Amino acid sequence: MRLLSLLLLILLAACSGGERSAPRPRRDGLPPASRPAPPPAETAACLADLQGLGVRFNPLPDRRFAGQCTALGAVQLLDIGLPVTNLGAMTCPVARTFTQWVKNGIQPAAREILGTEIVRLESMGTYSCRTIAGSARLSEHALANAVDIAVFVMADGRRVSVLNGWAGASAEEREFLAVVHRSACRRFRTVLGPDYNAAHRDHLHMDMGRGPFCR
């Protein structure tokens, strides 16, 4: 009899334990962050990939902030071969995909199309606890799962910006931006640029959330 009640207790404990980790609806009506923390093995494999790409980075401790914002399985990129302004916490999958895009996507595109090299990238940030503009849904930036790139600075001194170059006067800069956008779409889950909406007229938004979506 005692054994039976002990078993029952264990079962109950297991059930309530499971319930505790389920997302709860927020009182202010915002949807809960729908993604759980990545399995540790997945993060470990991603960190090994980053190491294999020859970048310098610091793994960051998991952080949970107010308003369902999180930075889980995230890293701080320190050196990916060229300076990138404004990089904060990024989930490892975003950091890995971003590094591959820079090394294998946009740098070769700059050489082929513009005959020069990218020497600096200007970003508009990574982690930011906010909702999507005009929506109550959390942005992928609130999960450290996105990066925004605004300007590509070239070795020959050119500054190719999404704002001025996307539909600008230079045909080769337009081609370059179209190619790096397409290259991002092949790698990230969601990519948004000037053709998506006015909020993206001055940068390419790239994330590893829902998708595939490319515009």
Question: Which residues of the chain form contacts with Zn ion (CB under 5 A)?
Answer: 146, 148, 205
- Strand (E) positions, 53-154? 56-59, 63-64, 70-71, 74-79, 84-85, 90-91, 118-123, 146-154
Nearer to Zn ion, 96 or 200 (CB): 200
Nearer to Zn ion, 158 or 205 (CB): 205
- Reduced to 3 DSSP states, what percent helix, strand and coil does the chain have, rounded to the nearest 5? 40, 20, 40
- The DSSP secondary-structure symbol of 79 reads E
Closest separation between CB of residue 205 and Zn ion, Å? 3
Closest separation between CB of residue 200 and Zn ion, Å? 8
* DSSP SS3 for 98: helix
Alpha carbon 157 to its chain centroid, in Å, reads 28
Residue that has been written with the tokens 């170059």 in this structure = 165
Closest separation between CB of residue 203 and Zn ion, Å? 7
- Written as six digits, the tokens of 2 are 């005692």
Residues 6+ apart with CB under 8 A from 196: 215
Q: How many CB atoms lie under 10 A from the CB of residue 153?
A: 18
Residue type (1 letter), 168:
G
Closest separation between CB of residue 197 and Zn ion, Å? 12
Closest separation between CB of residue 98 and Zn ion, Å? 12
Dihedral sign, CA of 139, 63, 209, 47?
A: positive
Q: Contact at 8 Å (CB) between 144 and 74?
A: yes
Nearer to Zn ion, 181 or 205 (CB): 205
Nearer to Zn ion, 122 or 148 (CB): 148
Closest separation between CB of residue 33 and Zn ion, Å? 17
Position of minimal CB gap to Zn ion: 205
Nearer to Zn ion, 68 or 190 (CB): 190
Nearer to Zn ion, 148 or 173 (CB): 148
